[in-house]
Structure 1
Amino acid sequence: MPRPQILTYVDAGASEWTACLMRTIGHQLHAGAYEIRAVMADEIRHDATLFDDAVLFVMPGGADLPYCALLNGAPNARIRHFVEQGGVYLGICAGAYYACRELAFHAGTRGAICGPRELRLVDAVAVGSLPELTGGRLYDGTPRTTAAVELRTTDSLTDVPMSLYTHYHGGCRFDFDDPPGPGTQVLAVYSGIDGTPPAIVSARVGKGRAVLTGVHLEISERECKDALRGHSDMPAYLYVCDRLAQTGDVRLLVFRQLLAHAGLVLD
């Protein structure tokens, strides 16, 4: 009997962090319980059996516009059908922007990316990046706009709210109509921003669920340092890694709770 599959998108737009994400998810799972499979856009479009054994579809961080270019139309319809029939979509950073009703990325600037999104699993506007988390700097893809940001979970994710630092690099907050629709939960908030806007959310979609996070819970202090190696200004940003280390155990616990919320059986 085939094992349940976790499908992770690795085509154009997916960032170099995707391998780290797949590895970190794999380390949390019950041994042998799942197959983690990398998938391309053509498979989503043409493989009629792709979702037959899938329980989770992971859309990683990276860039939203290449996702739109390859997945608009039939592929998005298949992803949405998978979720509506009981599957779970996990969107991280760009994967979270992509699954909202609309995004507003750097609105009002020359490089703005704004507008509705076809997949529309969560009825929210994904707003970013968030310069109030990065010393006033808009995301530019370099270590200058990375940060270890303060997060606080809600009792929808952890029995007792927890505070932690987690990796941030260009992610979003989620702006809902007030109040959010039925079946929608705020799992964590940015506690370092006025108004503590949602940082991680979950929404019922048919029989399934979409779980979206504007931050990278999967990235540890060690992986942060690995990513900075080779950058001439690495020493100036090691404080980000050091801050992640302060709450590393809590970060991993919260990431595990997020995977459990998505329905996975953990080790």
Structure 2
Amino acid sequence: MTSVSQPIALIYRGPATTEDCPEAVAALLQDTYQVIYVGPQEKVDVNETSLSTAKLYVQPGGDDLEESWPHVCKYAPAIREYVKNGGRYLGICLGAYLAGSEPGFDLLPGSGDTDQYITSKDAVVTSEIDTVVPLLWRQKLRHVYFQDGTRFDLDQTAAPTEILATYMNGEIAAAVQHYGQGRVGMIGPHPEADEEWYATHSLKNPDGKMSFDLFYDLIETLMKS
């Protein structure tokens, strides 16, 4: 049973997400947070009022960036102010792309921006198929569910930055960076992916387990004071 004393996590669910992405995140947060889905077709939309109640805002995975942007662009000013004033933003895959600026919510200080990992030099994965990608997570080899995920070109001189993971070619795969008084957590792959995701695409994780511990590491890093 959800306790009203729990901090609130707003999870976007709507036309800029794909099936099961918001729910997979919610499943991992529901023991600690009061999860509220927000979006144009939910009881609560994304705006200054709803964000003012939240400890965490999550933008989950979704479809193509250019196709998704028109659905969420109206939220950009409110989300920027929320994070700037101390809020926490978690972007996964598409949500991580949206932390950038072309197009995006423009949450990365200085010259920071986001791009496709699959187009980077020496990328292990070079297509948009659902697969498993190897990472160095805190210098340890791990494998995470992946579908055309993000890489990050962060301006680490512009704000405090913690790199949690890199792809095997050295590109940043997961990080937390300060923005104003708040923080932005971002990850290209999908550590929230459960067994059903893997089974649907006949995939297996070489680690012999799901990547939920990596998700929780990212959350803990993002939420620390």
Which residue does the alignment assign to 1:149? 133
Report deviation, 1:22.
1.6
Give the secondary structure class of the aligned counterpart of 2:149: coil
Report deviation, 1:223.
3.0
Which residue does the alignment assign to 2:13? 10
Aligned counterparts of 1:247 and 1:198: Cα–Cα separation in 2: 24
Which residue does the alignment assign to 1:125? 113
Return 34-43 or 124-133, whichever deviates more: 124-133
Report deviation, 1:172.
1.6
Q: Return 5+ residue gaps in structure 2 as ranges.
A: none
The one of 173, 182, 187 aligned to 2:159: 182
Q: Matches of residues 169-208 of structure 1 in structure 2 within 5 Å?
A: 169-177=147-155, 180-191=157-168, 193=169, 196-208=170-182
Residue 1 of structure 2 is aligned to residue 24 of structure 1? no
Q: Matches of residues 60-139 of structure 1 in structure 2 within 5 Å?
A: 60-63=60-63, 64-73=65-74, 75-101=75-101, 116-123=102-109, 124-130=112-118, 132-134=123-125, 136-137=126-127, 139=128
Contact 1:133/1:147 (8 A) holds in 2: no
Larger radius of gyration: 1
Aligned counterparts of 2:104 and 2:25: Cα–Cα separation in 1: 25
Contact 2:159/2:179 (8 A) holds in 1: no
For 1:194-253, what per-residue CA distance to the aligned partner results, in whole angstroms no more than 9, with x for missing partners? Answer: xx110001110111100010010111344310x33xxxxxxxxx3xx32x152426x222
Which residue does the alignment assign to 2:37? 38
Report deviation, 1:180.
4.6
Q: Return 5+ residue gaps in structure 1 as ranges.
A: 102-115, 140-144, 155-160, 229-237
Report deviation, 1:20.
1.8
Pair 181,5 (structure 1): closer, same or farther in 2 beyond 3 Å? same
More helix as a share of residues: 1
Return 85-94 or 1-10, whichever deviates more: 1-10
RMSD, matched Cα: 2.3
Q: TM-score, normalised by structure 1?
A: 0.71
Report deviation, 1:118.
4.6
Contact 1:12/1:66 (8 A) holds in 2: no
Pair 206,217 (structure 1): closer, same or farther in 2 beyond 3 Å? same
Pair 36,256 (structure 1): closer, same or farther in 2 beyond 3 Å? same
AA matched with 2:69: C
Residue 205 of structure 2 is aligned to residue 211 of structure 1? no
Contact 2:16/2:71 (8 A) holds in 1: no
The one of 195, 207, 214 aligned to 1:246: 207
Identity of aligned residues (%): 23
